[in-house]
Chain A
Amino acid sequence: MPKITFVSPDDGRTTVEAAGGDSVMQAALANGIEGIVAECGGAMMCATCHCYVDEDWLSRTGAASDEERAMLDFAASEVRPSSRLSCQIAITEELDGLTVHLPEAQI
């Protein structure tokens, strides 16, 4: 199973195993990662699953769609070029080892 590492704003790292087909948001919730709230449950309607994709992985996760960009404007923390809604990143074997950074706040 692909492994995903979440890095909290204070640099705490948690690595979890994720089921292929799940989203990064789902992997976070399933493993009690505090920094992902995901109020809308992945319907791309809340922007409380915001994360920053680690530089090294940006080419593999791809870019946010226009709709995702628009929703990211609602994010509580600064939006950067590496910002994604974690519910919109589907986990594949290719993403084994993915590292994402969590923002200061989601609400």
Chain B
Amino acid sequence: MAFAPTDETITIDQLTRDPYAVYRRLRAEAPVVTVRSIGRTLLTKAADTRAVKDNPALFSSNDPNTPMQRAFQAHTLMRKDGEDHMRERMAMTPTFSPANLKTLWIPAYEKLAGEYLDRLPRNETVDLFPALAGPLAARILAIILGIPGATDEEMQYWSQALIDGAGNFGYADEPFARVDACHAAMNAMVEARVPLLKAEPDQSALSVMINAADPIPFSQVLANLKIAIGGGINEPRDSLLTVLYGLLTNPDQLDEIKRTGNWSGAFEEGLRWVAPIQASSRCANEDTEIRGVDIRKGEIIMTVQASANHDEELFEDGHLYNALRPKTSHQSFGSGPHHCMGTHLARATIGKIILPMIFERFPDMQLVEPEKVVWWGFGFRGPLSLPVRLN
């Protein structure tokens, strides 16, 4: 057998601007390939990305050589395996229980969504990225995490700083300095809430974690909250903008969805079309083999779910948004033990609440110059703006 071929031509810039063209070629020519510019082995076929994530015994989440630990000032649950991972994940899961979603978070979101839509100006161009999608995602998260005093701006600023730090593979100074300043602010915000939530516990993530019978160390309480801040704003934001773009550029589909009310289907298709988290890395625990290619122990594998979601074996014309697609099962929430904790929350809030609400309020919403919308990102991906006209 042979090790993965090495591709010397693919650049990070290409993967940031137009990754789907690269992945389409890789799926056909080299579905297991080491890309020199990023120093990792990419998997681009759906069966492979899924098999790796579903086999945590062989493929660890602990990629030791990333800036993530430095950026988060912690070894977080996302990078842990087995029992250690489960303990930290379970500490937060009660917050996301079906009962809490139903009685607390969904009603809270519904009210917020109405308020944020009320604020949007009519009859002028408004960019829904900063005016709706970002702040709304930030607000509901601050409430669920138990830090409602954090402003929308703070939440978004912290989130971006954590993401930029975790993606700072060149180990430049600025992103780490910026995220360090955010840690000071986040820690202060959280610590101030602790006595209040000890006195009056609620179902927020902070409260549930500190009031547990056998609590995890406070360092990991902070780390869990920061993973949620870093990973709970831009995906809901980007997926909402993506679905809106998909529907507004395909008016026939939009009409049909309005008729059937299948907003959840439109949402799932948006997630499939442009996965907000495009790739997740895993580390091989032993020498092994994927699709006939040898993988060395310690090799870092990037499972590219963005590419899996366009795999020709599963989807016809996967590069097109099609809300009426018969089957939309995708890997955008990941798979295996690290499967996204926010899945049910995102499905309920975006798929069932905000999408129908927007089109009910603004049935004639128009995209302004759709050709100017820029899509951006390799690890995380979404549109950089979504200018619309509401009337």
Interface residues of A (CB under 8 A from B): 34, 37, 39-43, 45-46, 70, 73-74, 107
Contact A73 B337 (CB under 8 A): no
Does B53 count as interface, using CB distance less than 8 angstroms? yes
Does B361 count as interface, using CB distance less than 8 angstroms? no
Does B325 count as interface, using CB distance less than 8 angstroms? no
Digitize B235-268: 1 where CB-to-A-CB distance is under 8 Å, 0 elsewhere. 0000000000000000000000000000010001
Interface residues of B (CB under 8 A from A): 50, 53-54, 97-99, 264, 268, 327, 329, 331, 333, 335-337, 339, 343-344, 347
Contact B54 A39 (CB under 8 A): no
CA of A87 to CA of B116, assembled, Å: 40
Query: What would be 5 A-B contacts, judged by CB atoms less than 8 Å apart?
Result: A39-B335, A39-B339, A41-B53, A74-B98, A107-B347
Which B residue's beta carbon lies closest to that of A46? B339
Closest 9 pairs between A and B when the two form their complex, measured CB to CB: A41-B54, A73-B98, A40-B339, A43-B337, A41-B336, A45-B339, A41-B335, A74-B344, A37-B329
Contact B336 A40 (CB under 8 A): yes
CA of A94 to CA of B335, assembled, Å: 30
Contacts of A74 in B (CB 8 A): 98, 344
| Minimum distance in angstroms from B221 CB to a CB of chain A | 21
CA of A70 to CA of B343, assembled, Å: 15
Contact A107 B264 (CB under 8 A): yes
Main secondary structure on B side of the interface with A = helix
CA of A73 to CA of B344, assembled, Å: 11
Give the contacting residue for B54; candidates A42, A73, A107; CB below 8 A. Answer: A42
CA of A45 to CA of B85, assembled, Å: 13
- Given A41-B53, A73-B99, A74-B98: A107 and B336 interface contact (C-beta under 8 Å): no
| Minimum distance in angstroms from A6 CB to a CB of chain B | 16
Which A residue's beta carbon lies closest to that of B101? A74
CA of A34 to CA of B329, assembled, Å: 10
Contacts of A41 in B (CB 8 A): 50, 53-54, 335-336, 339
CA of A70 to CA of B101, assembled, Å: 13
CA of A43 to CA of B81, assembled, Å: 13
CA of A31 to CA of B91, assembled, Å: 36
Known: A39-B333, A43-B336. 12 other contacts (CB 8 A): A39-B329, A39-B331, A39-B335, A40-B336, A41-B53, A41-B54, A41-B335, A46-B339, A73-B97, A73-B98, A107-B268, A107-B329
- Given A74-B98, A74-B344: A45 and B329 interface contact (C-beta under 8 Å): no
Which B residue's beta carbon lies closest to that of A45? B339
| Minimum distance in angstroms from A37 CB to a CB of chain B | 5
CA of A46 to CA of B98, assembled, Å: 12
Contact A70 B336 (CB under 8 A): no
| Minimum distance in angstroms from A77 CB to a CB of chain B | 13
Which B residue's beta carbon lies closest to that of A72? B98
CA of A73 to CA of B347, assembled, Å: 14
Which B residue's beta carbon lies closest to that of A41? B54
Contacts of B343 in A (CB 8 A): 39, 46
CA of A34 to CA of B53, assembled, Å: 21
Which A residue's beta carbon lies closest to that of B347? A107
CA of A40 to CA of B329, assembled, Å: 12
Which B residue's beta carbon lies closest to that of A47? B344
CA of A38 to CA of B243, assembled, Å: 24
Contacts of A42 in B (CB 8 A): 54
| Minimum distance in angstroms from B48 CB to a CB of chain A | 13
| Minimum distance in angstroms from B22 CB to a CB of chain A | 26
Contacts of B344 in A (CB 8 A): 74
| Minimum distance in angstroms from B61 CB to a CB of chain A | 12
Which A residue's beta carbon lies closest to that of B341? A45
CA of A74 to CA of B99, assembled, Å: 10
CA of A8 to CA of B98, assembled, Å: 26
- Given A39-B335, A40-B336, A41-B54: A70 and B97 interface contact (C-beta under 8 Å): yes
Contacts of B337 in A (CB 8 A): 40, 43, 45
Contacts of A73 in B (CB 8 A): 97-99
Contacts of B99 in A (CB 8 A): 73
Which A residue's beta carbon lies closest to that of B327? A34
Contacts of A39 in B (CB 8 A): 329, 331, 333, 335, 339, 343
CA of A107 to CA of B339, assembled, Å: 15
